[in-house]
Every structure is written in structure tokens, then in C-alpha cells.
Homo-oligomer: A and B are copies of this chain.
């Protein structure tokens, strides 16, 4: 028996729930040295910007306990080069590609969405809201429900109806549910969480920040409890909205934790740096865990930890009727 691992981002079906996390899978070519990109639920690109970006100076990384700080600064070749050299390669290999976009203004996000509109091979658009809003003194969009909603609404408007728009949220807020709700009200078809909270490390030998940029984004297992909490809270408040959960997933157990909290798909980021085979491995482990628990459909487990205390896990029978 193999479990039915299909999942849906809005109406788009993915063969399995394991994605790469934005910015962690390169262009796809690097991972393809280790395993097929079309075996992924979807490949999520690093956040694409309008113009080429050189990113931040080095050092760009620092290791922290069970975590990684990075300040890459969205280095990339810009959307034109992406469409010319990267997306076609992914499409040829049959990968479903979620294109992450990043910008400094609503206009820039909108322009990116327009540029992607109608391009074949774009399975979904993920809006990286953790970019500084240059028109609001660099305040990150994701920290402000209305700014986030504005970006989402304009990207949604510029994107063909059959391409889902995923809003990617940050945990660095007082109320992640409020931002999630604003994004859904703004037209997000799905939500992704969590982007990296802002952290910092100081080198006690040089007595200076370990990263050239000072602060960086914290990822890896250290942040998993924050990710599980965000997914849990948002799924509780918006049970109908598909969630791509991520943050510190290194094993099938970690992925299952996010699924039980309410994620219908799970992205793997930092773990890829440690294990380039992490995606197929996590998928295999997740499938084994589901089977060991008597589930033959992923969909039946999404959000299952929310059932009232003492309630039995739903039986096969009522699961037949349930849908995502």
C-alpha cells in the first residue's frame, strides 16, 4: 500500500506535499545533481526581483545552536535572466515551479506579477512579504497587515486566475493571525509560513557582529517551535486556507508535526544544506509515518492535532467524506 500524498494549493494539485523552501534550492540544477526536481511536490525559487541584485557582503552566514543565520540579501540575476535561463530548465524537467517574488514597493511586486503572468511553467506565485518597504522607512511588509494585504491584492490582480497566489508570512509580529487574515482578505489563495525571524550573532573574538549585515534571518530546527505555533494558530483561525508550513524541517517527523498543526504542504530549507537528499528522504519518512499510523491519505492528517482533547483520531470511514 502506498499512501495518497496528493495535496492542493487552492485548485492546483501537487503529487506530494514536499517543497523546497525559497532561497534554499538554488536554481534547481544544483539539487538535480542529487535527485530529480520533478519528484518534488514543487520547486520553489529563491525570491526573484525585477533587477539583478548582488545581495549583501560576506560573511553572510553564521551558525547558531540548531540554527543558521543568513543575510544573503536576495542575490539573484533579476526576473529577465530568471525567465530566460532558469524557469525553462525547470519546465523542461517537468518540475512544478512556485516562483517567489520580492520587491521594495507595491509597484515592484505588481510589475513582477505582470511579468510572470501567462509565462508557462509558473505553477504558483509566492509573495515574499519579508522585504523592507522602501516607502515606509524600510518597515517589512509582513509586519503590517495592511501593507501585506496591499501587496497581495495587487499581485492577485495581476496574476491569471488559475495561478494561485501564496502569501509568505513572517513570525516577527505580535499577531500572525491578523496578518494572515489580512492577506487572505487581500486575495491570497494560500499562505506560507514561516519566513526567518530576525536574529543576530556576535563574534566574541572579533567583538563584532558575525554577519556583515549585522542582523540576519534565523532558520533551522531552532525555529521549528515558532513555525508549528504559527501554522497552528493560522489553521485554527482560517481552517479553509491551504498552508505551506516550513521552519526547521529535517525529518519526516518534523514534516508530520507541521501537517498535524495544519499545513497541507511542507517546505524544506536549511536541511538541504546539510543533506542534499533531504526532500525525497523527508517525503519517504512522512509516508512511512502515515502508514504506520494507519492513514492512507495525507489529507486526513492535515490539522489533526486540533481535534478536541480525548477525541479519537477520525476513523477511516469519516475520512472518506472529508476533503482538504
Contact = CB atoms under 8 A, between A and B. Distances in A.
Interface of A: 64-67, 69, 140, 143-144, 171-175, 197-202, 204, 207-209, 214-215, 218, 220-226, 228-229, 232, 248, 253, 256-257, 260-261, 289, 293, 301, 304-305, 309, 313
A226 B218 contact: yes
A20 to B, nearest CB: 21
Given A200-B261, A228-B202, A65 B248 contact: yes
9 contacts: A65-B221, A65-B222, A69-B225, A144-B174, A171-B197, A204-B253, A204-B257, A207-B301, A214-B232
A256 B174 contact: no
A301 B171 CA distance: 32
Given A65-B248, A174-B173, A225 B207 contact: no
Contact of A228 (B200, B207, B208, B289): B200
B174 A200 contact: no
A129 to B, nearest CB: 12
Given A144-B174, A218-B225, A223-B222, A202 B67 contact: no
A304 B208 CA distance: 8
Given A223-B222, A304-B207, A229 B257 contact: no
B209 A305 contact: yes
A90 B140 CA distance: 46
B64 A225 contact: yes
Given A202-B261, A218-B226, 18 more contacts: A64-B224, A65-B66, A66-B222, A140-B174, A199-B226, A199-B229, A200-B225, A201-B228, A202-B305, A204-B256, A204-B260, A204-B289, A207-B304, A207-B305, A208-B309, A214-B232, A215-B232, A218-B225
A218 B260 CA distance: 20
Nearest to A261: B202
Nearest to A257: B202
Contact of A201 (B143, B257, B313): B257
A301 B204 CA distance: 11
A225 B204 contact: no
A304 B261 CA distance: 42
A257 B208 CA distance: 9
Nearest to A254: B204
A171 B198 CA distance: 10
Contacts of A202: 228, 232, 257, 260-261, 305
A218 B223 CA distance: 9
A64 B301 CA distance: 22
Given A172-B174, A218-B225, A200 B313 contact: no
